[in-house]
Amino acid sequence: MPLIVQKFGGSSVANAERVRNVARIVTETFRAGNDVVVVVSAQGDTTDDLITKAAELTQKPPRREMDQLLSAGEQISISLLAMACNELGCPAVSLLGWQAGFQTDSRYGAARIKSIRTERLQVEIGRKNIVVVAGFQGICKYDDITTLGRGGSDTSAVALAAALRADRCQIFTDVEGVYTADPRKIPGAKKLSEITYDEMLELATLGAQVLNNRSVEMAKKYHVELEVLSSLTNKPGTIVKEVTAMEKMLVRGVTKDSEAARISVIGVPDVPGIAFKIFSKLAAKNINVDIILQSVGRDGTKDISFTVSRTHAPEAIELLGKLDILDGLTVTCDTAVAKISVVGAGMETHPGTASQMFEALFAEDINIQMIATSEIKISVLIEEAAADRAVAAVHRAFFPEE
């Protein structure tokens, strides 16, 4: 009998009406002849409400206690969903992270799954129960409750699908699948029926925000076939898998990332090792650097520009200020930038993709500040004010309106 893992986020179970809706989807899947394991997040704003309660008491809550506190959120949602499934006539049982066998390390608040002991899960599936599992949580070797960090429920679902060798892992969201661009902004955006893990990873990193990246990496590693689909419409979503059967599309999507900041160091002496010193300093503080550009400056000096996330920009500037080798140099930071990317496994064999993208931007008179390429994506940094216009233009270039 096929086994399907279904995951529903917090907004999908935010109130009684939505819990009933999820129960309908789950029980229909069950009645269609599948074994079903459901992973749910905490209801709507529960997690934020609990964080507020803690903040009223202390600015530095012990992480262990935060995990104890926050994990109550899924405890509430799983038992409610199990009740709703029972009410619809299908036997259902809820399992907390530890009851479902989620063993994690002891990094409270950001724990990693070490293994899933599936005995209890197998027993409940064997009894023909729908099994409703608390996402986002597990238990460490000290018998303490741990949480996987925000977005961790996706990871819970994929890990369960891998451990149970499920036939499919369905991630229900508030969008109908993965689109060639943000459908709220680009009216011509098309839903993709299939996409590869690697393409999905690039899209997720670049801000498509449909799937948590860690979960896609895990799905790729364990060959879990994912489907991203909507809990509100009864339509097929987007399948994420290793190799897609579709004809090779040049480009899968166009994305915008407005979380970038560009930092430039002007007039760096042209001697070896300076770039290394800059970037090792940032790496030591876990500041990710994205696009890097080194240009020839005047008088035997050079300019080094790079992008970091906006939240990290102030710390990066501060670190650069402490570097003796940069004494007296000008360091600028521009947060009014956006990164526009095209993603697609097909482009590695199509050298024309980049020029097609640049042409579309040129036609709109949009200046390109930086460029970065990989096998399956091309990213450009532009001024933020032009970002939406840029996405629309590039999308039109690759996905002409019918």
| Residues at the interface with its own copies (CB under 8 A) | 16, 19-20, 50, 53-54, 56-58, 60-62, 64-66, 68-69, 71-73, 75-76, 78-80, 82-84, 86-87, 93-94, 96, 99, 120, 143-145
Beta strands (DSSP E) in 199-334 are 226-230, 238-241, 253-257, 260-269, 292-296, 301-309, 330-334
Tokens for 118, please give them: 């599936």
Q: Write phi, then psi, for 209 (nearest 5 degrees).
A: 55, 30
CB of 226 to its own copies, least distance (A): 28
CB of 130 to its own copies, least distance (A): 12
How many whole angstroms separate alpha carbon 148 and alpha carbon 301? 46
How many whole angstroms separate alpha carbon 47 and alpha carbon 71? 9
Q: Whose Cβ is closer to its own copies: residue 129's or residue 155's? A: 129
Q: Which residues pair with 38 in a beta bridge?
A: 6, 132
Q: Whose Cβ is closer to its own copies: residue 104's or residue 255's? A: 104
Q: Whose Cβ is closer to its own copies: residue 68's or residue 294's? A: 68
Tokens for 151, please give them: 């977005």
DSSP 179: B
Q: Which residue's entry shows tokens 């992270």?
A: 97
Residues 6+ apart with CB under 8 A from 361: 340, 368, 380, 382, 390, 393, 394
Q: Whose Cβ is closer to its own copies: residue 43's or residue 238's? A: 43
How many whole angstroms separate alpha carbon 284 and alpha carbon 272? 20
Q: Whose Cβ is closer to its own copies: residue 72's or residue 292's? A: 72
How many whole angstroms separate alpha carbon 215 and alpha carbon 5? 13
Tally the residues of the chain: 402
Q: Which residues pair with 377 in a beta bridge?
A: 343, 374
Q: Whose Cβ is closer to its own copies: residue 60's or residue 298's? A: 60
3-state secondary structure at position 4: strand
Q: Whose Cβ is closer to its own copies: residue 69's or residue 354's? A: 69
CB of 6 to its own copies, least distance (A): 18
Asked whether the beta carbons of 355 and 379 are under 8 A apart, the reply is: no
CB of 84 to its own copies, least distance (A): 5
How many whole angstroms separate alpha carbon 100 and alpha carbon 122? 10
CB of 161 to its own copies, least distance (A): 23
Asked whether the beta carbons of 168 and 4 are under 8 A apart, the reply is: yes
Asked whether the beta carbons of 197 and 238 are under 8 A apart, the reply is: no
Q: Whose Cβ is closer to its own copies: residue 53's or residue 185's? A: 53
CB of 71 to its own copies, least distance (A): 7
CB of 68 to its own copies, least distance (A): 4
Tokens for 26, please give them: 């789950």
CB of 334 to its own copies, least distance (A): 40
Q: Whose Cβ is closer to its own copies: residue 82's or residue 397's? A: 82
CA distances from 318 to 128, 202, 282, 313 (A): 58, 30, 10, 9
CB of 25 to its own copies, least distance (A): 15
CB of 229 to its own copies, least distance (A): 24
Q: Whose Cβ is closer to its own copies: residue 68's or residue 373's? A: 68
CB of 343 to its own copies, least distance (A): 41
Q: Which residue's entry shows tokens 């063993």?
A: 103
How many whole angstroms separate alpha carbon 342 and alpha carbon 384? 17
